[in-house]
Structure 1
Amino acid sequence: MRRKGIVLKLGLLIMVLFLSILIPFAFLIDRIFLNVYSIYLNDNVKSLAQSLEVEWIEKNQSPEEIYHHLNLFFEHEVIFLNQNGHITHGNIMEFNEGNHLPDEWIAQLQNGETVEGERYNSDTEENFYYFIEPIFNDEAFEGGVIIFSSIDELHNKMHNVRDWMFRAIAATVLIAIGYTFFIVWYLSRPLVKMEKATREIAKGNLTTRVEVNSQDELGSLGSAINDLSVELNNYRKTRSEFLANISHELRTPTSYLIGYANLIKQGKYETPEELGRYASVIEGEASRLAKLIQELFALSKMEEGEYTLQIQEVDMEDFIQSLHAKMKLKAAEKGLAANVQLNGNDHAFFTDGMKLEQILLNLLENAINYTEQGWVNLQVEMKEEHIEFIVEDTGAGIPKSDQSLIFDRFYRVDKSRSRATGGTGLGLAIASELAKQISGAIQMESEENKGTRFIVTLPYSIENQDM
């Protein structure tokens, strides 16, 4: 067990809490036993003193007769004293026949008060409880009775009780320690396993999984660690693919740029038309490179949360016509039909028009790139509480195994078509992030070899905010 392990810490914490309850409880029980026995002894002695008062006054027996009668069977020590405070019968410790009681005690007795306390007999090494009862006859002070009762028996019984109590506490603590550390060990096992799993994940072993055996918070934590491992594994794979793709995408246009620039520099062209073709290649590759850099920069800013919303009212008809003009031109290059449709009432619509346009252009460009024949449609549904922009195509569709990953950064369904389509795997990730920025969401429905449908849902108005 590690010195600073969770089992030891939780075990010690539970034991401290347990002892903080047990020790005061044991002390309270000890006080209760002591008080009960003390009250019993006090009441017994008082009752005896009162009975002796009855013998003396009401039955008119002399103290001498009562004293000799008590010596035959009485277990307590009894002393009688007269009205002057002198001891007439009985001897114990410093209280001997003929001695005078302290004036303070005599004053208390004459006032009808009782006197009580404890005394230690050094000769017999006994502790005594004493009680002095004043005796009155027709309101005249006649003397008093002192009863000494040994309390060693009380002490012995209390010591026995305390011994048994300490034994019980020790046994309880030992049992509690065993149960506590067993329970803590049992409950902390999943945490220890999760710690080992997370350390394996931190080392790069992203296939590590935590066994989830419960539906409580620990089970939820285990599932979260498994999900994290899956996400990190996917991220590592897509990052590796992205770096490979980016290296290729950067190397290819760079090679073209260097190659054709050298041809022009060395004058290796025969006609102005050939020079123009070289310049066109350089322009195209430079545009491709600029687009890649722009998308990387945009994604980096979004990851850091650096963006500003420019909220303004959007004229839906003008907005749709502008999009239609842009999508028609690109669709016509592939012989595809490009249609737009606006349905619903004309509501005031406030959003960041530039970001919305970028979202829809990304989706439309993606649809055109992956559609070889048929059409690409943009449909706008202005519903009661929100707006839906629906981008639909008759392209290749997306396999079910890829549908949960298409919005991940750097992910592409058909990696072999990256150069043909000019894609970098960032378009859908950027569209998804932009939709979140303007309080929207993107959903996708697709069937392989039949087409894909993207639905962008937006509120009619969002609050202006700078991030």
Structure 2
Amino acid sequence: MAANRMPAIRMPAIRMSDWRSYPAQLLHFWRASLQFRTVAITVLLSGLGVAILGSYMSISIGDNLFDSRLNQVLAESSKATVQAQDFFDSDLATTDPSRTDLEFLGNTVLSNIRATTTSPGGLGVAIYRSPGQQTPVTMQPAASRGFPDEVVSPALQDAVENNRGADRVWWQSVALDDGRPAIAVGSLLTVPNAGFYELYLVYDLGDAQQTLAFVQQTLALGSLALVLLIGAVTYIVIRLVVGPVRVAAEVSQKLAAGQLEQRIPEKGEDVIATLARSFNGMADSLQKQITKLGELSRLQQRFVADVSHELRTPLTTIRLAGDVLYDQRDTFPAATARTAELLHTQVQRFEVLLADLLEVSRYDAGAVELEVEPTNLVRLVEDAVDSMRLVASERGSDLRVVAAGGYFEAELDARRIRRILRNLLGNAIEHGEGKPIVVMVDSNEHAVAFTVRDHGVGIATDDLSRVFDRFWRADPSRQRTIGGTGLGLAISLEDAALHKGYLDVWSEPGNGTCFRLTLPRDLDSSIRVSPLDLPPAEAVEELGEATGELPVETLGTMEGASDD
């Protein structure tokens, strides 16, 4: 029933070309509806069972009707044969056969047989002379009016002729001209001085056929009604069972969507009611725990934000005082000057850490918004690399940029992307062991991407899954030399997700590390494939390392590019 209503509700406009989608829609409906699937399976199996049982009953009833009618016909035929034989024997025993009108005698026998036959459906009687005889007298063949000669087959005639002297009758199922079934019965008569004659009787089985057709029609209608009744009962029962399950599924979806106050209605004392009470108890417990955890998270976020804000004022004072001391360090003794330098460095690091903590608290609170604008990714990468080139030179690393050309302009927040790149460059410089660091930029029709590849110590395979954790370090004993806070990669991952992109990493111990950032060209589109492999092909090797410096190589045009 539900399947019949679905097309009328969900497909108000049907086109001739939509018929191809019917199998897919039916398959989807079959998978989605437990109620329809159960009712359909029940109806099909019950229909198959009823069809098998009805066919067996129809065949059994048909066989019983035929056997009963056959027994009746054979009894009547045997009686008619005995009656005709007795008539010939008694009449010709007292008269001279040569002076007797055998034709009249044969017609009399036929009349007597038809008069004494009580079986309904008799179509006629016929007496034929058996061929191949030489007798003193001959009786002409005789048949009642309307006798169907065509139904007396040669096979039946042979059976009667070849069993002379056998006291029995022979029968055969035949079909009349109009298709009605019938039975032809033959027996052998002995006429004194006239030889052997064959007696044939034909019985119409149309009445039995009508009875069988009525029984079959009754069975078919009864089977159809039974299958429909089974389907209706199954539908009602499944509806009673599936209804609460559907409600539970809808409530669970709402709970998963954050509507923690949703509950399943509790009715009765059966198993479904017990399930509802258990589910509601679980939902109450989850709501309490989630509310408690949410409150703790809010308190933690607020605490971090408040502490960060409160620290900014004394930190500003300390930084100003430290700057004064740092500017006058040349007038101090060596130990005091070194102390002023350490104070200046650590205050700067603390200020960066405080800014990162504030940024993390904004992400946790969901209060971060993008300020996107059309930006040329190549020029943004050039600016970030130039700003880090002095730091890289101090560590002995060359920064190299390779731009393959393409659709470089994209809608993005330049400040956040620049921060991601600076964090990745800082890590590459920190762990690159003075080897070249290559930044590759490329794009396709749907996405832009850049990679930062160093050839340093690399990261162990077991540690790759933790590189974006907050404050995590692969080697805790290793000292930071360029002021990292341990939050750079975590913030970079959040910035990438905010742009609907992704940041991933490849690394091999002793062979270096490569980070790849892939972003959609605009926030409304999706990324199908990244423009760069991970790690990308080492095209830099072909540019020549003898000079120690490699220029930015941009292949292709960049129409409409704009500075960030």
TM-score range, shorter chain: 0.3 to 0.5
TM-score when normalising by structure 1 = 0.48
